[in-house]
Amino acid sequence: MRLILAALATLLFALPAAAQRSGTPFERDMLQRFSKALPGSQLNLKAGEPLVIRIKGGEWDEAEINLHRIDYYCSQSSEEECETAKSEFVRKLTTKTEDPTPESLRLVVRDQQYLDYITHNMPGKAGQDPAIHEPIGEGLYAFLAFDMPEAIGVIGDKSLGDMKLTRDQAWLRAHAQTRGILPALPKAEDLKRGPVVLEGEGYLPALLIDLPSWERLAIQTGPDLFVAATSDRLVVIGIMPEGEDFEGMKKAVADDCAQQERCVTPFVYRLRKGRWVIAD
């Protein structure tokens, strides 16, 4: 967040070099934490693939936990911030989730890496989608999800059956309930005065799902409209042409993403032909 705001304020700046990863000590620490939290499961570090924990047995059946993002987050953070992040990471992944209800349905935006992780670790039964989603752009997806007090869970076909909802019914309800808690898109005249930073509210990247509204906005702003979303609580919208300043913005977004415990996407997007594309 602070890197993006710095870029907006100065447009040109020097970014700090990334710290080296913690490596094996970090992996062993996380393995110990998950082993303690999941006493009925067998855990081990995946051979030939750093920063991946394999889990078998217990409530998890069989799964893998990817530690790359939290490892990088810790390399960029203080010892206290890292300790808090590691504790929260383990707690959220090992706490039994609530059952979704129609009232808890939401839409969230996630990137290709998230989809790949879900596909690899939650294959689901034949003919069933473990995480219902729709593409909204280049490596960017809207996922059907449900809201919990301290987390967000994705929803698959099985949960829809339990709620006795079709995909269309669930999606429409989730869209309406998510849109009801989001702010309005900024007006073109406001963006022409400078970038707009939306922060604080959850589910903010879900603003990107309403493509028709963005198309109407882009008609007024021109092709230089851009958007960035590095977390569920931060979206930056602005107008900026290609050039050195825009390159600085893209670099700031990527660096800010790397410092997030859970980043939505490290890319800056533009709207092209009714979908989001990564800005070159």
With both helix axes pointing from N to C terminus, report the angle between 244-258 and 68-76 in degrees, rounded to the nearest 10. Answer: 110
Of the candidates 234, 233, 272, the residue with the CA atom closest to the CA atom of residue 252: 234
**What's the pLDDT tens digit per position in 71-81?**
888 988 899 99
Give the pLDDT score at 197: 96
CA distance 52 to 85: 17
Give the pLDDT score at 91: 87
| pLDDT band of 60, cuts 50, 70, 90 | low
**What's the pLDDT tens digit per position in 148-203?**
876 788 898 888 988 999 999 999 999 999 999 999 999 999 999 999 999 987 89
| pLDDT band of 280, cuts 50, 70, 90 | confident
Instruction: Please check whether residue 175 is in contact with residue 105, taking contact to mean a CB–CB distance below 8 angstroms.
Output: no
Please give the model's pTM, rounded to 2 decimal places. 0.75
Burial environment of residue 61 by CB neighbours within 10 A (0 to 12, 13 to 18, 19 or more): exposed
Per domain, the residue ranges of the chain are 2-12+184-272, 24-94, 102-179
